[in-house]
Structure 1
Amino acid sequence: MADHTQDTRIQRTQLQQELEQMQAKSSPAEFDTYQTSLTGRYCSTAMSHLFSQRSRYSTWRKLWLYLAQSEKELGIESITLEALEEMRTHVQLTDFDFETARTEEKRRRHDVMAHVHAFGVVCPSASGIIHYGATSCFVTDNTELILMRDALQIILSRLAKVMRNLSMFALKWKAEPTLAYTHLQPAQLITVGKRAAQWIQDLMFDLQSIEHVRKGLRFRGAQGTTGTQASFLEIFGGDASKCDRLNELLCQKAGFTACYDVSTQTYTRKVDLELANAVAGLGATAQKICGDIRHLAAWKEVEEPFESTQIGSSAMAYKRNPMRSERVYSLSRELISKPINFANTLSDQWLERTLDDSAIRRIDIPEMFLLADAILLGLDNVTDGLVVYPKRIQSRVQEELPFMITESIIMKLVAQGESRQEAHEQIRILSQEAANTVKNEGKPNDLVARIKGTEFFKPIWVELDSMLRPEL
């Protein structure tokens, strides 16, 4: 007993030392400030990086470069080649740039102008022409459209992988009879593969919706402060054709086919709502799929992957809780809630723009995609390793199969001249009696024996045993 206690103390001391070493190596922010669970625990590095500050503000710089390049191409002589080269060299932000912008924002209370200043510090030849003719939404709105377009592509790739997993699963188990459920009560048989095909079809709807909104995304472009391009008309001496050409050049550089036909200071927030509805639809599908898997796991028919060293419960060592499906289910519930925020933002935009769309969209746009990413990573993991227990499925089928054949019995009796209503009533009475035996006496289902003992069903007695085949 003493040796065991000493060993435990040594293990605790070693663990404490390891924790202290980890804390010493980690930045203070990792332990001392709130970190979102999405980026720290659930979603991919790719999606986290896409919506990082470095990605966002580097995209701002790319847009300022695209604008300057396009204005230069359209004859603005004050933009020099040296300025463009400096801007190109410093597109990616350094820690120094972030610190400069942070200091400037405290002083100016304006994040875009803070970054204009920070960019100008490292690009002195360009400092006078950065953001020339533009309003803040030139970088903020266009960046959001770029990030959402790229995020949708990540989502589509992950969704296709989940559909592939389930397609392979459906084909493998397409002929395995299993109980279907309506009202969460046993109903006529389907197959294990057919149920997976139902999931795939819903995911296909999501894929089509997301592809549709991604294909429909346009650029805001350079529209000025209220969408009239007044500032750019001034720059180009009233030449409206150059304003149109400017947007064509910006679209080419940013990878968009066109700008939205009408913009105010922003692109319409209807775009965000349509996109949120499509992405949130994926959350509803994922919650449905994982809810089904959780029920099947409770019946021990199908389970998500469970590793050999995995612990299902800290108290109940025998448990195999479907924690992956529960996680996806939980994240899906949060994703489903997002569209209402985008709807409220759209409806609350007064006239040409109010700023109360800003703070909430800084939260909701990244979170929507981080949630979708985490959900699909979880679904990929679950669907790539689903475990099926055929013997258990067959056992449960046999428990309910006598009830399953009652509709066929009615049809056969009617074909031989019996009344459909009378056949239904006879089979209903015997079914209730058999169910009572199962529920109140704990005995096996004896419906077939009751049918064989009832003269009314004599015309189909010889067919009964052959009807009790699940594959039929």
Structure 2
Amino acid sequence: MPDHTHYRSPLETRNASAEMLTIWSPQRKFSTWRRLWLALAEGEKQLGLRITDEQIAQLREHLDDIDFQKADEYERRFRHDVMAHIHTYGDAAPAAREIIHLGATSQFVNCNTELMLLRDSLQLVSAKLAAVVIQLGNFALLYRDLPTLAFTHFQPAQPTTVGKRAAMWAQELILCRERLEHTRSTLKMRSIKGATGTQASFLDLFHGDAEKVYALEKFICDRFGFDSTYPATGQTYPRVVDAMVLSDLACTAAALHKLCSDLRLLAHRKEIEEPFEKDQVGSSAMPYKRNPMRCERATGLCRFVMNLAGNAYDTAATQWLERTLDDSANRRLSLPESFLALDGALDICGNVTLGLVVYEKTITRNLLAELPFMASENLMMKAVQLGRDRQQVHEAIRRHARDAAQRVKNDGADNDLLDRLRSEPLLEGVDIDAETDPKQFIGLAPQQVERFHKQYIQPLIQKYPDYAARVPKLRV
């Protein structure tokens, strides 16, 4: 039975996926520590240090069977988590106790493990982001020809299409994904740098043989899939790396926030809605309500991610000289929670974008309510081509537009501007219906979407075939 007397983070209970929770779990963290200690011992043995096969075998036998209770007891005694786990591992592998962590500092396990967790988390986020982009891209292609009212300053503007707007959302997410991929591809390992980054302890172990130190460093890198190390570090890898990672996550969160905010605005206009399940309740007080709760949750999570980035900036800025420990408590929160929250937001957005509901007739009705005003210039130009005086036509249309707008605003009536213009003598002979066809006002929007889909979406579908129709499972 779950214990309901202790706080549990909503990131765990409501939002983050099992995959992301596993990456940042204690089991993954401390079993990675043990794999690092095993690799260190194997490399040192290979390079001539007195380490036996029995010691290596015992270390290998106990990579995952961690006694967390014993580790907690040791930490309360030592006030040092790395020493606690060294002793816990030594109890499980007594023959190897004396060579565990040989030559290393705490950041050998901490930094190298965190870099691997960042790498794995970025990979998961990038794949989920690709899924959202694919879904938006396919949606954009489906609705590339459907005209809709565009907005600038949140005021009616020249029409676009439903598909073009979705392509805009996808474009921002593609830019964010490119940044994430770049950051992931440039991560390096700290490997074996020692207490202040000079590798002095390892140079001493190998009796001044620098080539063996470099060989051990490369051995560790190769074992864990890194091409290289940060060549000049203090006690930790450069904390500006964390700032770059969290900045990229924050940028992604900002783009997702815009997507969900736009969908909330469109839901208000009754044009597009997120999925709404048969038994879902919108409000405990108002039974008729159909709130965009998924998009609201996603925007809340995104704001959290955006604000966590500042922690990484502060940490990078305040690492005195070779290192200060005030980074530790903050990073234990800001690194995992940034990924857990963004992971939850991505799953929500994936669920939403795969099930968007489009109300085409409402979209057209809303557009036609504003289109007559936007068509006025086109109508004026057609009348001039028929030999009418431009200034006279301009004044006539201005007067009709003013009167129609007053009728809409003061009387709550429909926009009758087109009917007024049809009876205007100066516009006789102008095909008003043809000149007010919504598709006359969308420019190259459909073609832009087609080119966008071919250039960006189709390659992603080929790269992530299993994600193209992925339906994220939401707990709430």
TM-score, normalising length from structure 1?
0.90
Q: CA deviation at 1:315?
A: 1.3
Amino acid of the structure 2 residue aligned with 1:199:
W
Q: Aligned partner of 1:229: which letter?
A: Q
Aligned pairs for 1:76-155 (under 5 A) are 76=49, 78-94=50-66, 97-155=67-125
Q: How far 1:407 moved relative to its partner? A: 3.5
Correspondent of 1:436 among 406, 417, 442: 406
Q: 2:46 aligns with which of 73, 80, 84?
A: 73
Residues 266, 272 of structure 2: 8 Å contact kept: yes
Query: Aligned equivalents of 1:129 and 1:422: distance in 2?
Result: 95
Pairs within 5 Å for 1:154-303: 154-303=124-273
Q: Shift of residue 418 of structure 1?
A: 7.6
Q: Structure 1 residues 246, 469: closer, same or farther in 2, change over 3 A? A: same
Distance 2:384 2:313 in 1: 55
Question: For residues 290 and 131 of structure 1, do their structure 2 counterparts lie closer, same or farther at Cα, with a shift above 3 Å needed?
Answer: same
Asked whether the equivalents of residues 438 and 445 of structure 1 are also in contact (C-alpha less than 8 Å), the reply is yes
Measure how far apart 1:463 and its partner are: 2.4
Q: Please state how far the C-alpha of 1:440 moved relative to its aligned partner.
A: 0.4
Change in Cα spacing, 1:422 to 1:70, as seen in structure 2 (3 Å) is: farther
1:375-394 correspondence runs (5 A):
375-394=345-364
Q: Does 1:334 align with 2:304?
A: yes
Question: What amino acid sits opposite 1:50 in the alignment?
Answer: I
How far does residue 122 in structure 1 lie from its aligned partner after superposition?
0.5
Cα pair 2:119 2:187 within 8 Å, conserved: yes
- Structure 2 distance, partners of 1:414, 1:231, is 88
Structure 1 position 423, deviation (Å): 6.3
In 2, are the aligned partners of 1:54 and 1:93 still within 8 Å (CA)?
no
| Contact kept in structure 2, 1:142 and 1:220, CA below 8 Å | yes
Q: Which amino acid aligns with 2:419?
A: A
Q: Which has the higher contact order (CA 8 A, sep 6+)?
A: 2
SS at match of 2:82: helix
Matched with 1:458 is 427
**Is the Cα contact below 8 Å between 2:379 and 2:430 reproduced in 1?**
no
TM-score (norm 2): 0.89
Aligned to 1:58: 31
- Letter of the 1:354 counterpart: T
SS in 2 for 1:179: strand
What is the distance in 1 between the residues matched to 2:97 and 2:253? 45
Q: Distance in 2 between matches of 1:425 and 1:273?
A: 59
**Does the 8 Å CA contact 2:148/2:367 hold for their aligned counterparts?**
yes
Residue deviations 1:5-53, cap 9 Å, x none? xxxxxxxxxxxxxxxxxxxxx14xx301100000111110111111111
Structure 2: which amino acid aligns with 1:292?
D
Structure 1 residues 453 and 347: CA distance shift in structure 2, 3 A: same
Code of the residue aligned with 2:45 in structure 1: it is: K
Distance 1:421 1:276 in 2: 58
8 Å Cα contact 1:186-1:400 kept in structure 2: yes
1:363 maps to 333
Unaligned stretches of 5+ residues in structure 1: 1-25
Query: Per-residue deviation at 1:319?
Result: 1.0
Deviation at 1:362, TM superposition (A): 0.3
Q: Distance in 2 between matches of 1:291 and 1:309?
A: 24
Q: Percent identity?
A: 47
> Could you report, residue by residue, the CA deviation over 1:269-291 in whole angstroms, capped at 9, with x for unpaired residues?
11001111111111001110000
Q: Structure 1 residues 423, 224: CA separation in 2 closer, same or farther (over 3 Å shift)? A: farther
Deviation of the 1:430 alpha carbon? 3.4
Q: Which amino acid aligns with 2:84?
A: A
- Verify the 8 A CA contact 1:301 1:393 in the aligned structure 2: yes
Equivalent position SS for 2:439: coil
Corresponding position of 1:23: none
Q: Secondary structure of the residue that 1:93 maps to in structure 2?
A: coil
For 1:376 and 1:425, how far apart are their aligned partners in 2? 52
Question: Aligned residue for 1:11?
Answer: none
Structure-2 separation of matches of 1:104 and 1:273: 32
Question: Hey, what does 1:354 align to over in structure 2?
Answer: 324
Q: Cα–Cα, structure 1 residues 243 and 306, in superposed 2: closer, same or farther, change >3 Å?
A: same
Amino acid at match of 1:468: T
| Distance in structure 2 (CA, Å) of the matches to 1:262 and 1:389 | 58
Q: Provide the alpha-carbon RMSD of the alignment.
A: 1.7
Call closer, same or farther: CA 1:471–1:79 in 2, change over 3 Å.
Answer: same
- Residue 326 of structure 2 aligns to a residue whose secondary structure is helix
> 2:461: which partner in 1?
none
SS at match of 1:462: coil
Deviation for aligned residue 1:412: 4.0
> Partners of 2:88 and 2:418 in 1: how far apart?
83
In structure 2, the CA distance between the partners of 1:233 and 1:384, relative to structure 1 (3 Å rule), is: same
